[in-house]
Structure 1
Amino acid sequence: MDWVIFAILLAACFGAGSTGGLFPPGPWYRTLNKPVWTPPDWLFPVAWTTLYICMAAAGALVAGQPGADVALALWGLQIALNGLWTPVFFGLRRIRLGMGVLAALWLAVAATLVALWQLDWRAGALFVPYLAWVSVAGALNLSVWRLNPDEAANPPEMAR
């Protein structure tokens, strides 16, 4: 594994993850109805830190290999969508649009996993927990949408 590539990809991951600090859940999210199985708040930074390390390692394992272009392009797509969800859901407070971003993210993560696996099974395996977590996030987003139909249909105006 190329450690310089790993560091660059990890920086990209934490760049995407920084949107959580820019658009924190806040009081709006706390007032929404959520399913009883919603993960505790402390789990999110732990899970994302672990996933970002795995994602960067997966990309670094295949970087420089012949035929890695598509896998790395998909890696770039998934990290862009990863960084988009938080501003859409928490920043714009668009629950339905957030679900759309999550659906696209799930597809991009699944495609990246397959493309990585074809190059190096270890890289693909490092994306399995990420796909599982995005699946949980999608189920949570969908549940919040269903439990808050008025909020989803009429997003509140942002405080200025």
Structure 2
Amino acid sequence: MIKSWMVIGGIALILGGVGGSIVPPSGVKWFARLRRPYWLTFEPLIPLIWTTVFICGAWSAYIVWEHDPGSRKTWLLMGLYLLLELVTLSYNSVMLTLKSLKAGTFIGGTGFVLGLILAILVLPISVWASALLLPYLLWSPVGTYTTWELMRLNPQDA
């Protein structure tokens, strides 16, 4: 029998793989040439950080699902988890396709708001499920601020 954690983890993994592969090479080159803030010394760690954030999000979804599997409320929350992942994954593909730091900043801010709403909604269900969204809520503003700072340093690419 397929376990719920396998389904939730599998969906997160598949979406991450697909979402991570939708990046135009010209957009990657555009982004690579942008001036970076002097304090952006942690850039090589960003993939590891996001991997951790996504694992925590999937674990949070698993906890919520197991609390009341298959209920209407749980399905709606799973939809919100899915929307949050899709918005988060769209950051690179949209920003690099449009070559627009404004688009990246907007998507980052939208993801934070969705993550905050989700954390508030799952808090009554499980403190742990809500706490597992904290890495997203802490890291998302860092990424959004970094993108905003890139806009300031590269106004021609805003």
Check whether the contact 2:65–2:74 (CA below 8 A) recurs between aligned residues.
Answer: yes
Identity fraction in percent? 23
Which residue in the other structure is 1:42 paired with?
A: 44
8 Å contact 2:64–2:126 — kept in the other structure? yes
> 1:7 aligns to what?
6
Query: Offset at 1:12?
Result: 2.7
Residue aligned with 1:33, SS: coil
Summarize the alignment of residues 60-75 of structure 1 with structure 2, pairs less than 5 Å apart: 60-64=62-66, 65=68, 67-75=73-81
Question: CA shift at 1:79, angstroms?
Answer: 1.0
- 1:1-150 correspondence runs (5 A): 4-18=3-17, 19-23=19-23, 26-64=28-66, 65=68, 67-150=73-156
Whether the aligned pair in 1 keeps the contact of 2:60 and 2:132 (CA below 8 Å) is yes
Structure-2-length-normalised TM-score: 0.83
Q: Which amino acid aligns with 2:20?
A: G
C-alpha contact (below 8 Å) 2:104/2:144 kept by paired residues: no
Aligned-partner residue type, residue 10 of structure 2: A
- What whole-Å deviation, never above 9, does each CA across 1:29-68 have from its counterpart, x for those lacking one? 2211121222534312211221121111100101151543
**TM-align CA RMSD:** 2.1
SS in 2 for 1:35: coil
Structure 1 gap ranges (5+): 153-160
Asked whether the 8 Å contact 2:109–2:141 carries over to 1, the reply is no
Structure 2 unpaired stretches of 5+: none
**C-alpha displacement of 1:87:** 0.5
**Aligned pairs, how many?**
150
